[in-house]
Amino acid sequence: MASVELRGLTKRYGASAVVDDISLKIEHGMLVCLLGPSGCGKTTTLRLIAGFVEPSAGEILVGDRLMSSPQRTVPPERRNMSMIFQSYALWPHMTVAENVAYGLRLRRIESGAIKERVANFLAAVRLGDLANRYPGELSGGQQQRVSLARALIVEPETLLLDEPLSNLDANLREEMRFEVRRLHDQYRYTTVYVTHDQSEAMTTADLIAVMNAGKIEQLGSPEEIYDKPRSEFVARFIGASNILHGKNVDEAHIAFDGAKLRCSGAKLSSGGMTSLSVRPHDIRLSAAPISGAENVVSGKVIRQVFLGGHRDYVVETAGGTPLRVVAPAEQNIAPETAVWLHLPPECCHVLVG
């Protein structure tokens, strides 16, 4: 295994920079998710790492070896990387075992060694009993496990995954998230995983790079990205935060819709404007006035939806700002009812980006 490093990586198509001056180092054995909406540059970044696309500027190194620059690009087949695509890309005329063995046969590995390694990897992805079946006889989740086994068996330095679970139904996708993480923990390949699904990234990744408009907006652990978003984009994309805008009162408070809110995070400059993020499930909703607490905002219920384990509310504050609130299922408050919201200070995070 080896680290993967991107230095000022840029890819332009005409005047448009699809990947814009990205620098990122992925230590060996780490799983890093490139997370973002369609068009943010994450798949192009992956294709640059794979060698399918040449950079307009910057470099890609694996260990101490230069793989890509505007002057020189090592072809994909010489990078010792395995890539798994959205489609399973299995040979339909080959059995599961033959598909998994394909890369080893190309490398002219001795047949006895191939048979043993295939058996070991099929056991690792829990498909040992299906070795003689054909891809058309497997479920989507089973086919994706075959793809994983085929990619891992050749012992790549780097494993690249491009939206590998997007073609699976919701239940299979959830199951396979944990399977990807289990296999990574077992084999510890340096892995770059592209997805637009935040739950997928949170489940699988050691580090998440949230991408927006060709740049990395924030890099951190799943906990850091969720608990301490640095920009409005990250706060909205990860966990659907409410964003509040207010005028700074002092270094720790803003004025928001007639209330004074204490914030956590960076110190504020007096007189400026600040944005805060607060998660819907962190807000306490009450049909009666809340006494003895700071950070209380009044409003009225605009709508509420029963979702089984909880209710999803939209509350319009006295200043006209809609806030989303997640409340217990038994808390049934009708639309147009006056309510009070408690926004805990430790959950009101200052956005600095």
Co-location of 340 and 268 in the same domain:
yes
Query: Two tokens at 14?
Result: 């005409």
pLDDT at residue 222 greater than cutoff 90: yes
pLDDT at residue 103 greater than cutoff 90: no
Q: What is the CATH number of the domain that holds 38?
A: 3.40.50.300
Number of domain units in the chain: 2
Greatest CA separation for the chain? 77
Q: Are 41 and 20 in contact, with CB atoms under 8 Å apart?
A: yes
Q: How many CB atoms lie within 10 A of CB 322?
A: 12
Co-location of 70 and 177 in the same domain:
yes
Domain boundary among 206, 232, 258: 232
Question: What pLDDT band is residue 353 in, cutting at 50, 70 and 90?
Answer: low
For residue range 134-178, what is the model confidence (pLDDT) as tens digits? 999 998 888 888 888 888 888 889 999 998 888 777 777 888 888
| Cα Rg of the chain, angstroms | 25
pLDDT at residue 93 greater than cutoff 80: yes
The answer for residues whose C-beta is within 8 angstroms of residue 1's C-beta and 6 or more apart is 28, 29, 157, 188, 189, 190
For residue range 229-259, what is the model confidence (pLDDT) as tens digits? 989 999 989 888 999 999 999 999 999 988 9
Percent of the chain residues topping a pLDDT of 90: 67
Average model confidence (pLDDT) for the chain?
Answer: 91
The answer for residues whose C-beta is within 8 angstroms of residue 145's C-beta and 6 or more apart is 125, 126, 127, 176, 179
Domain boundary among 232, 253, 277: 232
Co-location of 119 and 260 in the same domain:
no
The domain containing residue 72 runs over which residues? 4-232
For residue range 282-300, what is the model confidence (pLDDT) as tens digits? 999 999 999 888 999 999 9
User: Which residues in 78-92 are b (16+ Cβ under 10 Å) and which e?
Assistant: ebebbbbeeebebee
Q: What is the pLDDT of residue 317?
A: 95
Q: What is the pLDDT of residue 106?
A: 84
Q: What is the pLDDT of residue 263?
A: 92
Co-location of 168 and 309 in the same domain:
no
Among candidate residues 76, 22, 63, the one with its CA nearest the CA of residue 45: 22
Co-location of 224 and 250 in the same domain:
no
pLDDT at residue 225 greater than cutoff 90: yes
Among candidate residues 101, 129, 99, 131, the one with its CA nearest the CA of residue 114: 101
Question: What pLDDT band is residue 1 in, cutting at 50, 70 and 90?
Answer: low
Co-location of 133 and 266 in the same domain:
no
Q: What is the pLDDT of residue 180?
A: 86
Q: What is the pLDDT of residue 206?
A: 97
Co-location of 226 and 251 in the same domain:
no
d(CA 28, CA 11): 25
Co-location of 31 and 179 in the same domain:
yes
For residue range 13-72, what is the model confidence (pLDDT) as tens digits? 999 999 999 999 999 999 999 999 999 999 999 999 999 999 999 999 999 999 999 999
Q: Are 301 and 335 in contact, with CB atoms under 8 Å apart?
A: yes
Co-location of 27 and 151 in the same domain:
yes
Q: How many CB atoms lie within 10 A of CB 308?
A: 6
pLDDT at residue 86 greater than cutoff 80: no
Co-location of 182 and 259 in the same domain:
no
